Structure 1
């Protein structure tokens, strides 16, 4: 999608003009955005999922009060926005959140943010060339991030070794996973494409459908009803929560579970699952502990950059969960490569033969069919007699 710079029709001023939407949490902001809005965010190291959500909302510009790439690692978000042709003004400063209010009309031009004719903030425009420079520099920070990753991994293993090694702490649930596949859907990397290519797999295997927070909405959008919803319950719609799926609330280790407050307002019940890891890891560990034969992951994190995009606090649990599950865990793209519904030539020939046989039986079993057979027999006799006379 390419968005061209729009000009204000009233005063013909250059740049991009539109209503302002602000939020410190990008995932909350994307729920309120409308096409043409100017999104004001506070998002250091803008990740891929958040960038794609902003693009999907068809914003006219993105203003980040923080650094979209701090240099810690080569994060993917800025490049996605730059490739979409959406102006990204970086490192504008926190005062923009004070100077602008929700719904104000603002203008963005050459890195300057205006309210009416007054400049309220200035940043750096990140075009593709500038993003490439930042990504190249950020690669140098990977060694530091790997050191932090190692330390976090050891700390997480100390806290959650009983859960990871023995499944201690996994709650009892009514959904049966035994001898079934589990499809765990996260509204993350390429989740729409993954769900689309898994249609035949879902139809044939009928896996347990597990939505992780917004992943439950993704299942509903794709035409499915989740069997279970796991997470903090902060980024899934009320309608999906009421779909009848079993609800498992990801809680802190001390038992606190903010997600229950929302369920109580909706008159719903849920089962707590105290764990330090992320909600997607909790969902996978639950499916594994309940004897799922195979766990297929949609929209989850797999590469080093994707782990980093999630944030260091979540990296350790994600990495160790994958080590724990081993060959039982398969990425959706791998399933699509292995699982194909193909019609082979011998199957077509068998179907054709069965059809011809059915027609022959139908003809032979009816008076009209007998008459046709007599006529065909007479014609065949005439043909063979003609051949014999000719020879």
Structure 2
């Protein structure tokens, strides 16, 4: 309809060019979001070329393409596109008005075009900034969700590793003690029935205690409250029970405690498990060992525990190291110490036998 109004004032080739340019501009604008800069160039060239040859001005074509560029391209690209478009529009329309001799009409057209372009460009910049801000917020939310998922997965892995250590310590110590007690009971069954009966009683007691601890660990592993009966996790106060079990299997034991007990339940559990695993190692691998000495020293910010046995003499030290190092026992001791910020060492003792020494760190906030 706009072009029809100009049919009487334009040459046929101008009408054809104007209609063709307008159709091409409309087609190009369909892709303004996917390729904003390219569309702005195409639309700008067509619109200004049509105006330069005397066709009617498509007042909304360049502003719409400029808005898309400012909204969907970068801020730097938006300002460059706005400045370039203003300069190109001023140059082309100025030259066209001089050629037609209609300075007043050309000035009016130029003012309208520049005003629309400036408004479209500024609105596009603001919309683009808002869109980029929203995208940044969405990306931040996505990153936070991913970070939470990663922390949760890391927590699950850490928990599974902790439960694996617990299961290893409970089952390993219990089975070792039961094997030693059953061997002793079998040996003394004919000669000393009372001693054999005491060994069986100790086996029953140890098995029941281990069953309760195993149910606790399995219940935690399932992650279902009430899935199995729970028993309190052991702490340092139950270390004498470990020595009683060792004595029941034929070892002489001593326990020396220096200082007042400190540490939260997790630290106390780690202390208990370290002593338990060290005693289990002696029962399994301590050749000719008859004595186990446990020393626990409480300091202001740490707990030092040493377990020493009088096993294999120095001449077979290589075989001793190999036997003690086999399995996951020493690895579990080291992991428990490191988790508290401490250290652990294990190896042949200078005076003979084998020692395990671990240092557990206590957070300053706790004992303050």
Larger Rg: 2
TM-score in same-fold range (> 0.5): no
TM-score, normalising length: structure 2: 0.24
Structure having the higher helix fraction is 2
Report which structure shows greater RCO (CA 8 Å, sep ≥6).
1
Structure having the higher strand fraction is 1
TM-score, normalising length: structure 1: 0.23
